[in-house]
Amino acid sequence: MLIKELKARIIKNSRNENAIEVIVNKKYVASAPSGASTGMYEAKAFTKDVKFAVNYLNNFSVHYDFEEFKDLEVLDHLKLIIGGNPTIALQYAVLKAMSKNKVYNFLNPRAKRLPIPLGNCVGGGAHTKIKASDIQEFLLIPEAKTFSQMANINRNVYDMIGKLSKAKHKTDEGAFILNERNEDIFEFLTDLVYEFREHTGYKVNFGVDVAASQFFKKGKYHYNNSKQKVLTREKQIYQINDWIKEYNLGYVEDGLEENDFSGFAKLNKKTLICGDDLITTNLERLKKAVKAKSVNCMIVKPNQIGSLIETKKVVDFAHKHGIKTVISHRSGETMDPMIAHLAVGWNMNYIKTGIFGKEREVKLKELARIEREII
Ligand code: PGA
Ligand code: ZN
């Protein structure tokens, strides 16, 4: 597959920020999202700005016959010139062109497994400007046989939360904002999933993305909306393990700040202890986390590292070392459903892509469609 025509343009993401869209050979369209609670070790989204990247790509040509996934490496050098986001958008578009939009089959013709959807239902932190919970995301973990059932369960519980809480505002990812203490939200969700099970028979667990680096300042964790206000590192470790036990959390992402590999190792591994800002989809950081036994789970966001080739290496290394993988959207999302394909093609365990909003639902719908194709 040759790139005969390459076009780039500026589009708006779900947060109304400028994002980049790339079109290869008139038909194959792709774009990259942007984060708000970005880790300090992430690749730069844009080296200069989106306009510079758009101009660069509109004048870029590459004479190469793209046939296999590994050929995308030819484009990796662009990350340093224009940034991680335009490079990812271009690699997505080329991958779509190589596979004629059948990305997941192209990545793995024997792909059979759908990921479990983690549903962001209540949130705050860096994903809103109004007063909210310190914890960035409260996530539903549904139990059911099929992906479609699990996505429906998430949506039903989400609608129940909307009705019961009468919340008026939502975060960037479409989760309800409850201006309540973290512990009160845990209580609320505990009762709610109990009720849901009584009525429907479906078990739903829940977990959190604490995104702790966002409120870690001068060596301490500063809460606004919690029983405790300022916690030392030791107390934060105790707090997270205590929440896991008290509320039976099935998943905790970034419970500690992004440099505390040894602190992560002290978190209760009976639950999924997930690293996002800790690892930033970076192989060297993942190796460090494996060595220190920091995590048993990790977030995968291709634009954190700015290369699909590097992303794949990270996923393979994680699976080889028994680390569960969660492919994830960003808070500033686009309509590109690519992460749905990567989740299936790379046999990932979970997907975090929200419950509500067209940019989130397009990924869930794509997975439901893939499920119908596979089964
Ligand atoms: P971001 O946050 O997309 O705003 O970086 C998502 C997350 O922390 O998981
Ligand atoms: Zn996160």
Domain total of the chain: 2
What is the Å distance from ligand 2's center to 6 Cα?
A: 33
Q: Whose CA is nearest to atom 2 of ligand 1?
A: 37
Name the pLDDT band for 225 (thresholds 50, 70, 90): confident
Q: Which residues contact 229 (CB under 8 A, 6 or more apart)?
A: 222, 223
Tell me what percent of the residues of the chain surpass a pLDDT of 90: 98
Q: Please give the positions annotated as active site.
A: 173, 301
Q: What pLDDT band is residue 83 in, cutting at 50, 70 and 90?
A: very high
| Å from CA of 211 to ligand 1 middle | 8
pLDDT at 38: 94
Least trusted range by pLDDT, from 109-113, 129-133, 174-178, 287-291: 129-133
The answer to whether residues 84 and 117 touch, using CB atoms and an 8 Å cutoff, is no
Assess contact for 29 and 21: CB atoms under 8 A.
Answer: yes
CB-CB neighbours of 2 under 10 Å? 12
Q: Which atom of ligand 1 is nearest to the CA of 136?
A: 8
Measure 136 CA to ligand 1 centroid, in angstroms.
9
* Amino acid at residue number 263: G
- What value does the mean pLDDT take over residues 177-192? 95
Residue 247 tokens read as 């509320």
Helices 84-99 and 308-320 sit at what angle, rounded to 10 degrees? 80
Task: Give the predicted TM-score (pTM) of the model.
Answer: 0.97
Atom number, ligand 1, closest to the C-alpha of residue 172: 4
In this structure, the answer to whether residues 254 and 342 fall within a common structural domain is: yes
* Nearest-ligand number for the alpha carbon of 125: 1
Asked whether residue 101 falls in the same domain as residue 121, the answer is no
Residues 101, 122: one domain?
Answer: no
Task: Name the domain boundary from 87, 107, 127.
Answer: 107
- Chosen domain end from 61, 89, 107: 107
Q: Which amino acid is at 224?
A: N
Domain assignment of residue 1, yes or no: no
Atom of ligand 1 nearest to the CA of 253: 9
Question: Minimum mean pLDDT among 73-77, 179-183, 278-282, 346-350: which range?
Answer: 179-183
Q: For a substitution probing ligand 1, which of 330, 339, 353, 363 has the most ligand atoms within 8 Å of its CB?
A: 330
CA of 135 to the centre of ligand 2 (A): 10
Q: Compute the average pLDDT of residues 197-220.
A: 98
Q: Are residues 207 and 309 in the same domain?
A: yes
Q: Are residues 274 and 142 in the same domain?
A: yes
CA of 157 to the centre of ligand 1 (A): 22
The per-residue pLDDT for range 93-130, each reduced to its tens digit, is: 999 999 999 999 999 999 999 999 999 999 999 999 99
Indicate the residue among 51, 84, 107 that finishes a domain.
107
pLDDT confidence band for 227 (50 / 70 / 90): confident
Residues 87-92, mean pLDDT to the nearest whole number:
98
Q: How far is CA 123 from the centre of its chain?
A: 14
Residue 297 confidence (pLDDT): 98
Q: Is residue 281 part of a domain?
A: yes
Atom number, ligand 1, closest to the C-alpha of residue 332: 3
Of 8, 119, 108, the closest CA to residue 53 belongs to 8
Of ligand 1's listed atoms, the one at least distance from the Cα of 38 is: 5
Same domain, 64 and 193: no
Q: From CA 245, how far away is CA 172, in angstroms rounded?
A: 29
Same domain for 97 and 132, yes or no, is no
- What is the rounded CA–CA span in Å between residue 313 and residue 303? 14
Burial pattern 262-279, b for ≥16 Cβ within 10 A else e, equals: ebbbbbbeebbbbbbbbb
In-domain check, residue 319 = yes
- Token code pair at residue 122: 């209540």
pLDDT 10s digits, 134-151: 999 999 999 999 999 999
Predicted pLDDT of residue 147: 98
CATH number of the domain that 154 lies in?
Answer: 3.20.20.120
Residue with tokens 């059979």: 112
Residues with CB under 6 A from ligand 1: 35-38, 209, 211, 276, 328, 330-331
pLDDT at 375: 85
Q: Which H or E run contains 118?
A: strand 116-123
Mutate to test the pocket of ligand 1, among 331, 353, 359 (most ligand atoms within 8 A of CB): 331
Q: CATH code at 95? A: 3.30.390.10
Tokens of 125: 């932190």
| CA-to-CA dists, residue 56 to 27, 52, 53, angstroms | 20, 6, 5
Residue range(s) defining the domain that contains residue 186: 116-374
CB 30 within 8 A of CB 41: no
Alpha-carbon separation of residue 17 from 13, 65, 69, 124, 264 (angstroms): 5, 34, 30, 19, 33
Same domain, yes or no, for 97 and 126? Answer: no
Mean confidence (pLDDT) of the chain: 97
Q: Based on the fold, state whether residues 126 and 235 are members of the same structural domain.
A: yes
Rounded distance from Cα 251 to ligand 2 centre (Å): 12
Q: Of 328, 353, 363, which is best to mutate to test ligand 1, by the most ligand atoms within 8 angstroms of its C-beta?
A: 328
- Closest residue CA from atom 1 of ligand 1: 35
